[in-house]
Structure 1
Amino acid sequence: MPALPATTAVSIGSIPLGDVLAWTAIAAFVVAMVLEWLDAPDPARYLAAAAWVVFGVFWLTMVPHYYLEVKSPIQTLLTLAALPLCVYAGYLLLQGRESLLLLSKAIAFMGLIYLPAETIPFVKTWLIETTARQTHFGMELMGHSPGIEEGSNGYQSRFAFDPDVTVTGRTTYIIMSCTGIGSMAIFGGLIASVTASLKRKVTAFAIAVGVIWFLNLVRNVFIGIASPWGWFQQDILVHIATEFMGAPADRTSYIVAHNFIAQSLSIVALLGITYLVVRILPEVLDPLEEVLFILTGTEYDLSDALGEEMRADGGTSTSAASASESTAESGTSGESDPASTSETDSER
């Protein structure tokens, strides 16, 4: 949930409208979560329904940023779709679908993880500049050592490639959405929202964060090198970027690397991370089933679809246990602990 850039943001006083809407939605989700905990499901549903609508309006305010600034077709379409989907979620809550309170709870935890990192200055500075240093180290492993300087966002996060030496004369700098905190917040919210043993929740969270951090680092290095060195400056790609997206010709490599390759692979990566988390914490399938119901209007049993044989407590399913007992004199069932997100980069 990144704040809008100054060039497209609408503000209430000195506070961007996007920030006001995001904080309002998350605060309402948190209060709804508390009301449910206090065994007041009806007030919780009504408040969560209102929170979903505000949340959808927040995403609508992000459309100009993703369309005009980032020029990302994927993110623009997702933000456009967010409002009707969020309104539909609110409608379902008003109609009595209390199971959506679990997904509302997950959104509350996601916001509690992400928004402080976005809005507390020293935390934001640390995240951005640490990510920049780690990305620079990755570039050095690839034979590039441009150095780091202050970017237009005011942080020491811009990779100081010499424009007279590189192919495009452009470079990139790290912003908040390059840190991977958004994806980490998503999994953190899902994991925190479900009921399970602390050990399995901590294990699932550690694996999710570790994989996201590594893949995000690879992504930043890839984009950070591809943009200045013009890896995708082929004529056909330049034509698409300039004629259909209105981008400068020398920005083609950045757009291809970031908007098409990295974002597409990010979707695959998120699916893979979800699978790893589910193997440890199958309870997260419950809020994911609610997401699918909002998207399709159809009830799904993801445990059955994925062929999971784990109970909600992490042990084997009853049928699996019975099959095991039929072939062995004795056995035990207990907790199983298997060993096994940008949004956007900016450039100038």
Structure 2
Amino acid sequence: MFDQLWAGLDAFGAYSTPLGWMAIGLFLLGAALEYYDREYARPAVALAWVVFGVFWLSLVHHFIFVQRSVIEGLGSILAIPLALYLAALLWRGRDSLFVFSRAIAIMGVVYFSVVSIPVVSQTLIEAVTRQTEFLINLLGFEPEVVSGTQITTADGSTFEIAKKENPFRSTFVFDASDVSYMEQPIITYTIVMACTGLGSMAIFIGLILAVRAPAERKLRALAVSIPVIYVLNLFRNVFIGITFGNQMTNFFPDVVMALFSLESQWQVSYIISDRIIAQGLSVVALVVITWLVVRELPEVLSIIEDVLYVLTRREYDLQDALGFAPPESDPA
């Protein structure tokens, strides 16, 4: 039964992109209707949250079995009931959720617009690859960076680059000929869209632009978040590339292979470097960046208050608790 369930979720994953655009369209429609009458907007936004929950359902199999990401997999599962609950709360009259809904709409537009336009996504991925390459070389490592989806070694052997869909110049090739448990003489590390930091940047762009506040403070909030995320993401790529490419985090291989259903020992270093260490530190970094943003733009706390209410069913006044409040000089 479980095999059939997972097979069904795998097939359902093909609909994730149209479901994402459908949810964004409904969120944008709700935002437009809100300017005229919130009661007109309410059905559209509530339906948008329902579709958004179905969108996350379509990603469960991908995050758990393809990406093998504990954090993203758990997050996608939790997002399903939370989205449905948000739809119910908004339908029952919690109007503060209209701000959160606008934030989701902006996040979606930013992320899907970049992902859906090939020339933009390629430019971003290859720019991040070049910058990661510069930093890796600066640390004394010099892996080859290649285009295409295959690699031909000096002895004429050809290897497919694992799970690489686009032939961008985005793959680092590390020499693994001295690694005893390797099945091939090379290790490849490919920069994909998830390695650009676009997802995290889209989140903060959505949060900042969704609230009503003077443009000057919004620009300051963007300045203390977007560049920081971009730079930290480059450091993340460098850390994963060096530690995985040189098999530096091959810790407890038997345990990790069993927990993550890995086929080969060389994958252990990637799971520990990326899925455990890097993603764990990313959560901490996002909390710190959020703190920097709310210092400049306390209005964002209203969205965080709504999230906390959904999780705990308790009302919060974070502006008062943290001592952050919009400047009195702001226009009404």
Q: Structures share a fold, TM > 0.5?
A: yes
1:82-93 aligned at under 5 Å gives the runs 82-93=79-90
Structure 1 unpaired stretches of 5+: 1-6, 316-333, 336-348
Q: Residues 137, 9 of structure 1: CA spacing in aligned structure 2 closer, same or farther, 3 A cutoff?
A: farther
Do the aligned residues in 2 keep the contact of 1:127 with 1:179 (CA within 8 Å)?
Answer: yes
Cα distance, 1:8 vs structure 2: 4.6
Bigger RCO of structures 1 and 2 (CA < 8 A, at least 6 apart): 1
* Matched residue SS, 2:175: coil
Q: Is the aligned partner of 1:199 residue 2:196?
A: no
Partner Cα separation in structure 2 for residue 265 and residue 160 of structure 1: 25
| Cα deviation digits, residues 150-186 of structure 1 (max 9, x gap) | 2422221000222325675422101111100110100
CA deviation map 1:73-108 (0-9, x unaligned): 111111001110000000001111111111001101
Instruction: Determine the structure 1 residue equivalent to 2:200.
Output: 183
Which of 254, 270, 277 is the aligned partner of 1:239?
254
Give the match's secondary structure for 2:170. strand
Partner of residue 119 from structure 1, selected from 96, 110, 116: 116
Matched to 1:240, the amino acid is V
Q: Which runs of 5+ in 2 are unaligned?
A: 1-8, 150-163
The verdict on how the C-alpha distance between 1:33 and 1:77 changes in structure 2, with shifts beyond 3 A counting, is: same
Structure 1 residue ranges (4+ consecutive) displaced by more than 3 angstroms after TM superposition:
7-11, 165-169
Give 1:153-192 correspondences, 5 Å limit: 153-154=165-166, 155-164=168-177, 169-192=186-209
- Local SS of the residue matching 2:93: coil
Count of residue correspondences: 301
Separation in 2, partners of 1:174, 1:10: 26
SS in 2 for 1:177: helix
Paired amino acid for 1:17 = Y
Amino acid at match of 1:35: L
Q: Is the 8 A contact 1:170 1:251 kept in 2?
A: no
Q: Of 28, 41, 60, which aligns to 1:44?
A: 41
Hey, what's the Cα distance between the residues in 1 that align with 2:10 and 2:189? 20
SS at match of 1:96: coil
Give the Cα separation in 1 of the matches to 2:35 and 2:258: 54
Q: Percent sequence identity over matched residues? A: 43
Indicate yes or no: 2:308 matched with 1:292.
yes
User: How far apart are residue 146 of structure 1 and its match?
Assistant: 1.1
- Counterpart in the other structure of 1:213: 230
Aligned residue in 2 for 1:97: 94
Q: Residue in 1 aligned with 2:6?
A: none
- TM-score normalised by length of structure 1: 0.83
Pairwise CA RMSD: 1.7
The aligned residue for residue 19 of structure 1 is 17
Mapped partners of 1:68, 1:103: distance in 2: 30
| Structure 2 SS opposite 1:81 | helix
> What is the Cα deviation at residue 134 of structure 1?
0.8
TM-score under structure 2 normalisation?
0.87
Report the equivalent of 1:303.
Answer: 319
Q: Is the 8 A contact 1:89 1:294 kept in 2?
A: yes
* 1:166 and 1:228 in contact (8 A); partners too: no
Deviation track 1:10-32 (CA, whole Å, cap 9, x = no partner) reads 47xxxx41110000000100010
